[in-house]
Chains A and B, each alone.
Chain A
Amino acid sequence: MTSTAMETNNNIDRLLDMLDHPERYSEQEILDAVNRGDETREFYRRLTQVARARRNQRTLSQPADVDKAWEQFEQTHLAPQRRERLWIRVAATVIGILMMSGIAWAAVCTMRHITTTGQSKPKTEITATAAIGDEIDSLAATAVPDTMAAEDAVPMVFDNTPLEQMLGEIAAYYGMTVEFQNEAARTLRFHFVWNKGEGLQKVLDNMSHFESVTIEQTGNRLIVQ
Protein backbone atom coordinates (compact mmCIF):
# COMPACT_ATOMS: atom_id res chain seq x y z
CA MET A 1 0.00 0.00 0.00
CA THR A 2 1.34 3.42 -0.95
CA SER A 3 1.82 6.08 1.67
CA THR A 4 -0.91 8.15 0.00
CA ALA A 5 -3.37 5.24 0.23
CA MET A 6 -2.36 4.72 3.85
CA GLU A 7 -2.90 8.39 4.58
CA THR A 8 -6.34 8.28 2.92
CA ASN A 9 -7.28 5.24 4.99
CA ASN A 10 -6.12 6.99 8.14
CA ASN A 11 -8.19 10.03 7.28
CA ILE A 12 -11.25 7.86 6.66
CA ASP A 13 -10.68 5.97 9.90
CA ARG A 14 -10.51 9.28 11.75
CA LEU A 15 -13.83 10.22 10.14
CA LEU A 16 -15.36 6.93 11.26
CA ASP A 17 -14.05 7.45 14.76
CA MET A 18 -15.69 10.88 14.79
CA LEU A 19 -19.00 9.25 13.81
CA ASP A 20 -18.90 7.20 17.00
CA HIS A 21 -17.96 10.22 19.14
CA PRO A 22 -19.09 13.46 17.47
CA GLU A 23 -19.39 15.12 20.88
CA ARG A 24 -15.62 14.95 21.28
CA TYR A 25 -15.02 17.18 18.27
CA SER A 26 -15.83 20.74 17.39
CA GLU A 27 -17.98 21.44 14.34
CA GLN A 28 -14.92 22.84 12.59
CA GLU A 29 -12.92 19.67 13.25
CA ILE A 30 -15.75 17.58 11.81
CA LEU A 31 -15.98 19.76 8.70
CA ASP A 32 -12.21 19.67 8.28
CA ALA A 33 -12.15 15.88 8.59
CA VAL A 34 -14.88 15.46 5.96
CA ASN A 35 -13.26 17.96 3.60
CA ARG A 36 -9.66 16.84 4.17
CA GLY A 37 -9.49 15.57 0.60
CA ASP A 38 -11.57 14.35 -2.32
CA GLU A 39 -11.47 10.80 -0.96
CA THR A 40 -12.86 11.69 2.47
CA ARG A 41 -15.51 13.92 0.94
CA GLU A 42 -16.50 11.17 -1.47
CA PHE A 43 -16.45 8.55 1.28
CA TYR A 44 -18.76 10.61 3.47
CA ARG A 45 -21.09 11.22 0.52
CA ARG A 46 -21.29 7.47 -0.07
CA LEU A 47 -21.97 6.86 3.62
CA THR A 48 -24.93 9.27 3.52
CA GLN A 49 -26.27 7.55 0.39
CA VAL A 50 -25.91 4.10 1.92
CA ALA A 51 -27.58 5.24 5.14
CA ARG A 52 -30.50 6.58 3.12
CA ALA A 53 -30.67 3.45 1.01
CA ARG A 54 -30.92 1.26 4.08
CA ARG A 55 -33.53 3.52 5.73
CA ASN A 56 -35.46 3.34 2.47
CA GLN A 57 -35.22 -0.45 2.53
CA ARG A 58 -36.21 -0.70 6.19
CA THR A 59 -39.26 1.50 5.87
CA LEU A 60 -40.56 -0.67 3.03
CA SER A 61 -41.13 -3.41 5.56
CA GLN A 62 -42.81 -0.97 7.97
CA PRO A 63 -45.54 0.69 5.93
CA ALA A 64 -47.01 3.86 7.36
CA ASP A 65 -50.23 3.57 9.34
CA VAL A 66 -52.38 5.82 7.15
CA ASP A 67 -55.44 5.64 9.43
CA LYS A 68 -53.41 6.71 12.42
CA ALA A 69 -51.72 9.48 10.44
CA TRP A 70 -55.08 10.82 9.26
CA GLU A 71 -56.50 10.60 12.79
CA GLN A 72 -53.57 12.63 14.05
CA PHE A 73 -54.02 15.17 11.26
CA GLU A 74 -57.72 15.48 12.03
CA GLN A 75 -57.09 16.03 15.72
CA THR A 76 -54.34 18.57 15.17
CA HIS A 77 -55.63 20.52 12.21
CA LEU A 78 -59.31 19.83 11.63
CA ALA A 79 -60.69 19.65 15.19
CA PRO A 80 -59.89 23.35 15.87
CA GLN A 81 -61.59 24.19 12.59
CA ARG A 82 -64.66 22.19 13.69
CA ARG A 83 -64.68 23.99 17.03
CA GLU A 84 -64.67 27.30 15.13
CA ARG A 85 -67.58 26.10 13.01
CA LEU A 86 -69.42 25.02 16.14
CA TRP A 87 -69.03 28.55 17.52
CA ILE A 88 -70.35 29.95 14.27
CA ARG A 89 -73.32 27.59 14.51
CA VAL A 90 -73.94 28.58 18.13
CA ALA A 91 -73.71 32.25 17.18
CA ALA A 92 -76.06 31.67 14.25
CA THR A 93 -78.52 29.90 16.54
CA VAL A 94 -78.40 32.77 19.03
CA ILE A 95 -78.98 35.24 16.22
CA GLY A 96 -81.81 33.05 14.97
CA ILE A 97 -83.42 33.02 18.41
CA LEU A 98 -83.01 36.77 18.70
CA MET A 99 -84.50 37.18 15.26
CA MET A 100 -87.46 34.99 16.14
CA SER A 101 -87.87 37.00 19.34
CA GLY A 102 -87.87 40.10 17.17
CA ILE A 103 -90.55 38.56 14.97
CA ALA A 104 -92.59 37.58 18.00
CA TRP A 105 -92.17 41.05 19.45
CA ALA A 106 -93.20 42.52 16.13
CA ALA A 107 -96.31 40.35 16.15
CA VAL A 108 -97.16 41.54 19.66
CA CYS A 109 -96.61 45.12 18.63
CA THR A 110 -98.70 44.62 15.52
CA MET A 111 -101.52 43.13 17.58
CA ARG A 112 -101.33 46.06 19.98
CA HIS A 113 -101.32 48.37 17.00
CA ILE A 114 -104.44 46.70 15.59
CA THR A 115 -106.28 46.64 18.90
CA THR A 116 -105.42 50.22 19.76
CA THR A 117 -105.90 51.89 16.41
CA GLY A 118 -107.13 55.38 16.89
CA GLN A 119 -106.11 55.45 20.56
CA SER A 120 -102.33 55.28 20.54
CA LYS A 121 -99.40 56.17 18.31
CA PRO A 122 -98.85 53.49 15.68
CA LYS A 123 -95.67 55.07 14.36
CA THR A 124 -94.06 54.67 17.77
CA GLU A 125 -95.09 51.02 17.93
CA ILE A 126 -93.55 50.23 14.58
CA THR A 127 -90.43 52.15 15.45
CA ALA A 128 -90.14 49.96 18.53
CA THR A 129 -90.32 46.91 16.30
CA ALA A 130 -87.59 48.30 14.14
CA ALA A 131 -85.46 49.08 17.17
CA ILE A 132 -85.53 45.45 18.28
CA GLY A 133 -84.89 44.29 14.78
CA ASP A 134 -81.96 46.67 14.72
CA GLU A 135 -80.06 44.42 17.09
CA ILE A 136 -80.25 41.65 14.56
CA ASP A 137 -80.27 43.24 11.22
CA SER A 138 -79.74 46.94 11.01
CA LEU A 139 -80.74 46.92 7.36
CA ALA A 140 -84.16 45.59 8.20
CA ALA A 141 -84.68 48.26 10.80
CA THR A 142 -83.30 51.24 9.00
CA ALA A 143 -84.98 50.42 5.74
CA VAL A 144 -88.43 50.36 7.28
CA PRO A 145 -90.23 53.58 6.61
CA ASP A 146 -92.67 54.77 9.24
CA THR A 147 -95.50 54.35 6.85
CA MET A 148 -94.65 50.76 5.85
CA ALA A 149 -97.02 48.06 6.97
CA ALA A 150 -95.79 46.18 10.03
CA GLU A 151 -95.76 42.87 8.21
CA ASP A 152 -93.37 44.33 5.66
CA ALA A 153 -91.01 45.43 8.40
CA VAL A 154 -90.54 41.86 9.60
CA PRO A 155 -87.95 39.84 7.72
CA MET A 156 -89.31 36.68 6.18
CA VAL A 157 -87.22 33.65 6.84
CA PHE A 158 -87.08 30.98 4.17
CA ASP A 159 -85.70 27.92 5.85
CA ASN A 160 -84.53 25.20 3.49
CA THR A 161 -87.12 26.33 0.98
CA PRO A 162 -87.17 25.35 -2.71
CA LEU A 163 -85.96 28.22 -4.90
CA GLU A 164 -89.10 28.06 -7.04
CA GLN A 165 -91.34 28.72 -4.04
CA MET A 166 -89.08 31.34 -2.52
CA LEU A 167 -88.50 33.25 -5.71
CA GLY A 168 -92.19 33.02 -6.62
CA GLU A 169 -93.16 34.88 -3.45
CA ILE A 170 -90.41 37.44 -3.79
CA ALA A 171 -91.13 38.06 -7.47
CA ALA A 172 -94.85 38.46 -6.83
CA TYR A 173 -94.16 41.02 -4.11
CA TYR A 174 -92.12 43.16 -6.49
CA GLY A 175 -94.50 42.59 -9.43
CA MET A 176 -92.06 40.41 -11.36
CA THR A 177 -92.34 37.07 -13.11
CA VAL A 178 -89.84 34.23 -12.83
CA GLU A 179 -88.27 32.33 -15.69
CA PHE A 180 -86.21 29.23 -14.97
CA GLN A 181 -83.65 28.69 -17.71
CA ASN A 182 -81.96 26.29 -15.36
CA GLU A 183 -84.73 23.78 -14.64
CA ALA A 184 -82.71 21.93 -12.03
CA ALA A 185 -82.57 25.10 -9.94
CA ARG A 186 -86.32 24.94 -9.20
CA THR A 187 -85.86 22.33 -6.50
CA LEU A 188 -82.63 23.64 -5.00
CA ARG A 189 -83.24 24.57 -1.39
CA PHE A 190 -81.84 27.62 0.35
CA HIS A 191 -81.89 29.44 3.64
CA PHE A 192 -82.63 33.10 3.05
CA VAL A 193 -83.80 36.05 5.08
CA TRP A 194 -85.87 38.37 2.94
CA ASN A 195 -86.23 41.94 4.10
CA LYS A 196 -89.13 43.23 2.14
CA GLY A 197 -88.19 46.78 2.99
CA GLU A 198 -85.12 46.43 0.85
CA GLY A 199 -85.33 47.17 -2.83
CA LEU A 200 -85.40 44.31 -5.33
CA GLN A 201 -81.84 45.01 -6.44
CA LYS A 202 -80.54 44.65 -2.88
CA VAL A 203 -82.49 41.43 -2.43
CA LEU A 204 -81.02 40.07 -5.68
CA ASP A 205 -77.56 41.09 -4.48
CA ASN A 206 -78.14 39.12 -1.31
CA MET A 207 -79.26 36.14 -3.36
CA SER A 208 -76.16 36.34 -5.52
CA HIS A 209 -74.37 34.44 -2.72
CA PHE A 210 -76.34 31.33 -3.61
CA GLU A 211 -74.11 28.71 -5.10
CA SER A 212 -75.09 26.94 -8.32
CA VAL A 213 -77.59 29.56 -9.52
CA THR A 214 -77.49 33.04 -10.98
CA ILE A 215 -80.55 35.26 -10.86
CA GLU A 216 -80.73 38.23 -13.16
CA GLN A 217 -83.37 40.87 -13.65
CA THR A 218 -84.37 41.65 -17.22
CA GLY A 219 -87.24 44.10 -17.44
CA ASN A 220 -89.95 42.67 -15.23
CA ARG A 221 -88.58 39.13 -15.33
CA LEU A 222 -86.26 37.37 -12.93
CA ILE A 223 -84.24 34.88 -14.95
CA VAL A 224 -82.69 31.93 -13.15
CA GLN A 225 -79.62 30.50 -14.88
Chain B
Amino acid sequence: MNDNSILEGLFRQHCGKMIHLARTLLHDDAEAQDVVQDVFARLLENDYQMTGSKTEAYLMSAVRNGCLNRIRNMQLRERFKNLHPLGEADETHSIEELLAELDRINAIVEAHIEEPQRTIFRLRFDEELTFQQIATRLDMSVGTVYKYLRQCISRIKSFI
Protein backbone atom coordinates (compact mmCIF):
# COMPACT_ATOMS: atom_id res chain seq x y z
CA MET B 1 0.00 0.00 0.00
CA ASN B 2 1.29 3.47 -0.90
CA ASP B 3 1.83 5.87 1.92
CA ASN B 4 -1.16 8.26 1.76
CA SER B 5 1.14 11.26 2.20
CA ILE B 6 2.73 10.40 -1.15
CA LEU B 7 -0.72 10.25 -2.72
CA GLU B 8 -1.66 13.55 -1.08
CA GLY B 9 1.49 15.16 -2.48
CA LEU B 10 0.64 13.88 -5.94
CA PHE B 11 -2.96 15.03 -5.56
CA ARG B 12 -2.03 18.52 -4.44
CA GLN B 13 0.60 18.90 -7.12
CA HIS B 14 -1.55 17.87 -10.07
CA CYS B 15 -5.22 18.15 -9.20
CA GLY B 16 -5.52 21.84 -10.15
CA LYS B 17 -4.48 21.18 -13.74
CA MET B 18 -6.49 18.00 -13.87
CA ILE B 19 -9.68 19.69 -12.71
CA HIS B 20 -9.04 22.49 -15.18
CA LEU B 21 -8.81 20.00 -18.05
CA ALA B 22 -11.90 18.13 -16.88
CA ARG B 23 -13.91 21.36 -16.62
CA THR B 24 -12.79 22.26 -20.12
CA LEU B 25 -13.93 18.96 -21.55
CA LEU B 26 -17.11 18.54 -19.54
CA HIS B 27 -19.93 20.94 -19.06
CA ASP B 28 -20.49 20.14 -15.42
CA ASP B 29 -18.07 21.18 -12.67
CA ALA B 30 -19.25 18.49 -10.26
CA GLU B 31 -18.67 15.82 -12.90
CA ALA B 32 -15.25 17.27 -13.59
CA GLN B 33 -14.38 16.91 -9.90
CA ASP B 34 -15.68 13.33 -9.93
CA VAL B 35 -13.48 12.40 -12.88
CA VAL B 36 -10.37 13.66 -11.08
CA GLN B 37 -11.34 11.95 -7.84
CA ASP B 38 -11.87 8.71 -9.76
CA VAL B 39 -8.37 8.92 -11.24
CA PHE B 40 -6.82 9.14 -7.77
CA ALA B 41 -9.17 6.49 -6.37
CA ARG B 42 -7.89 4.09 -9.03
CA LEU B 43 -4.31 4.92 -8.08
CA LEU B 44 -5.17 4.15 -4.47
CA GLU B 45 -6.91 0.87 -5.34
CA ASN B 46 -4.14 -0.35 -7.59
CA ASP B 47 -1.34 0.79 -5.31
CA TYR B 48 0.11 2.51 -8.35
CA GLN B 49 3.65 3.82 -7.98
CA MET B 50 3.82 7.21 -9.69
CA THR B 51 7.23 8.69 -10.12
CA GLY B 52 9.20 10.45 -12.81
CA SER B 53 8.57 12.94 -15.51
CA LYS B 54 5.65 11.09 -17.09
CA THR B 55 3.43 11.38 -14.04
CA GLU B 56 1.64 14.50 -15.22
CA ALA B 57 1.15 13.12 -18.74
CA TYR B 58 -0.32 9.94 -17.29
CA LEU B 59 -2.68 11.77 -14.96
CA MET B 60 -3.84 14.20 -17.63
CA SER B 61 -4.47 11.34 -20.09
CA ALA B 62 -6.44 9.54 -17.42
CA VAL B 63 -8.56 12.66 -16.93
CA ARG B 64 -9.18 13.06 -20.64
CA ASN B 65 -10.15 9.40 -20.98
CA GLY B 66 -12.44 9.70 -17.98
CA CYS B 67 -14.14 12.75 -19.48
CA LEU B 68 -14.52 11.13 -22.89
CA ASN B 69 -16.06 8.06 -21.27
CA ARG B 70 -18.57 10.26 -19.48
CA ILE B 71 -19.39 12.07 -22.70
CA ARG B 72 -19.75 8.76 -24.55
CA ASN B 73 -22.20 7.58 -21.90
CA MET B 74 -24.39 10.67 -22.27
CA GLN B 75 -27.54 10.57 -24.33
CA LEU B 76 -26.90 12.01 -27.77
CA ARG B 77 -29.35 14.83 -27.09
CA GLU B 78 -27.42 15.85 -23.97
CA ARG B 79 -24.11 15.73 -25.82
CA PHE B 80 -25.57 17.92 -28.53
CA LYS B 81 -27.14 20.40 -26.12
CA ASN B 82 -23.83 20.86 -24.27
CA LEU B 83 -21.86 21.08 -27.50
CA HIS B 84 -19.82 17.95 -26.94
CA PRO B 85 -18.42 16.07 -29.93
CA LEU B 86 -20.91 13.52 -31.24
CA GLY B 87 -18.19 11.24 -32.60
CA GLU B 88 -14.60 10.49 -31.74
CA ALA B 89 -12.85 12.04 -34.73
CA ASP B 90 -11.67 15.09 -32.80
CA GLU B 91 -9.98 13.22 -30.00
CA THR B 92 -6.82 12.11 -31.76
CA HIS B 93 -4.74 15.15 -30.75
CA SER B 94 -2.44 15.12 -27.78
CA ILE B 95 -3.59 17.07 -24.72
CA GLU B 96 -0.94 19.72 -25.39
CA GLU B 97 -2.20 20.14 -28.97
CA LEU B 98 -5.77 20.28 -27.77
CA LEU B 99 -5.05 22.98 -25.17
CA ALA B 100 -2.87 24.93 -27.61
CA GLU B 101 -5.72 24.95 -30.11
CA LEU B 102 -8.14 26.25 -27.50
CA ASP B 103 -5.68 29.01 -26.57
CA ARG B 104 -5.41 29.91 -30.23
CA ILE B 105 -9.18 30.18 -30.57
CA ASN B 106 -9.40 32.41 -27.50
CA ALA B 107 -6.63 34.63 -28.89
CA ILE B 108 -8.45 34.92 -32.22
CA VAL B 109 -11.68 35.88 -30.45
CA GLU B 110 -9.86 38.55 -28.47
CA ALA B 111 -8.07 39.97 -31.49
CA HIS B 112 -10.46 39.59 -34.38
CA ILE B 113 -14.09 39.38 -33.31
CA GLU B 114 -15.75 42.75 -33.23
CA GLU B 115 -19.17 44.07 -32.35
CA PRO B 116 -21.94 43.13 -32.68
CA GLN B 117 -20.69 39.55 -33.21
CA ARG B 118 -18.56 39.80 -30.10
CA THR B 119 -21.56 40.38 -27.82
CA ILE B 120 -23.48 37.52 -29.42
CA PHE B 121 -20.46 35.28 -28.98
CA ARG B 122 -19.99 36.26 -25.34
CA LEU B 123 -23.66 35.81 -24.44
CA ARG B 124 -23.82 32.39 -26.08
CA PHE B 125 -20.52 30.88 -24.97
CA ASP B 126 -19.64 32.74 -21.78
CA GLU B 127 -23.06 33.37 -20.28
CA GLU B 128 -24.57 30.33 -21.99
CA LEU B 129 -27.82 32.00 -22.94
CA THR B 130 -30.00 30.38 -25.57
CA PHE B 131 -30.27 32.08 -28.95
CA GLN B 132 -33.83 33.04 -28.11
CA GLN B 133 -32.71 34.69 -24.85
CA ILE B 134 -29.96 36.56 -26.69
CA ALA B 135 -32.46 37.79 -29.26
CA THR B 136 -34.79 39.00 -26.54
CA ARG B 137 -32.01 40.71 -24.60
CA LEU B 138 -30.62 42.49 -27.66
CA ASP B 139 -34.01 43.12 -29.14
CA MET B 140 -33.29 41.46 -32.45
CA SER B 141 -34.67 38.47 -34.32
CA VAL B 142 -33.35 34.99 -33.68
CA GLY B 143 -32.45 34.86 -37.38
CA THR B 144 -30.14 37.85 -36.91
CA VAL B 145 -28.49 36.17 -33.90
CA TYR B 146 -27.89 33.06 -36.05
CA LYS B 147 -26.38 35.22 -38.79
CA TYR B 148 -23.92 36.94 -36.42
CA LEU B 149 -22.91 33.66 -34.90
CA ARG B 150 -22.30 32.14 -38.34
CA GLN B 151 -20.10 35.13 -39.16
CA CYS B 152 -18.25 34.67 -35.89
CA ILE B 153 -17.45 31.01 -36.50
CA SER B 154 -16.50 31.73 -40.08
CA ARG B 155 -14.05 34.43 -38.97
CA ILE B 156 -12.45 32.22 -36.34
CA LYS B 157 -12.08 29.49 -38.92
CA SER B 158 -10.36 31.87 -41.32
CA PHE B 159 -7.56 32.48 -38.78
CA ILE B 160 -6.92 28.85 -37.86
Q: Is B140 part of the contact surface with A, judged by Cβ < 8 Å?
A: no
Partner of B130, one of A20, A55, A63: A20
Interface flag for A91 (CB, 8 Å): no
Candidates B36, B77, B147, B150; contact of A27 at CB < 8 Å? B77
Known pairs A22-B77, A55-B24; A50 contacts B105 (CB<8 A): yes
Which residues of B in the span 68-122 have a Cβ within 8 Å of any Cβ on A?
A: 75-77, 80-86, 90, 99, 101-103, 105-106, 109, 121
A52-B76 CB under 8 A given contacts A16-B146, A70-B15: no
Q: B30-54: which residues lie under 8 A (CB-CB) from chain A?
A: 33, 36-37, 40-41, 44
Q: Which residues from B are CB-within-8-Å of A30?
A: 76-77, 80
Q: Total interface residues on B, using CB and 8 Å? A: 51
On chain B, the residues within 8 Å of A42 by CB distance are: 157
Q: How many A-B residue pairs have CB under 8 A?
A: 131
Given that A54-B106, A76-B37 are contacting pairs, would A20 and B131 also be in contact in the complex, using a CB cutoff of 8 Å?
yes
**Is the Cβ of A56 less than 8 Å from the Cβ of B86?**
no
- Give the 5 A-B CB pairs with smallest separation, nearest first: A64-B19, A51-B83, A53-B105, A54-B125, A53-B102
12 pairs, A vs B, C-beta closer than 8 Å: A12-B150, A16-B131, A19-B80, A19-B130, A19-B131, A22-B80, A50-B121, A64-B15, A70-B8, A73-B41, A77-B37, A77-B41
Measured CB to CB, the residues of B under 8 A from A are 4, 8, 11-12, 15-16, 19-20, 23-25, 27, 33, 36-37, 40-41, 44, 75-77, 80-86, 90, 99, 101-103, 105-106, 109, 121, 125-126, 130-132, 142-143, 146-147, 149-150, 153, 156-157
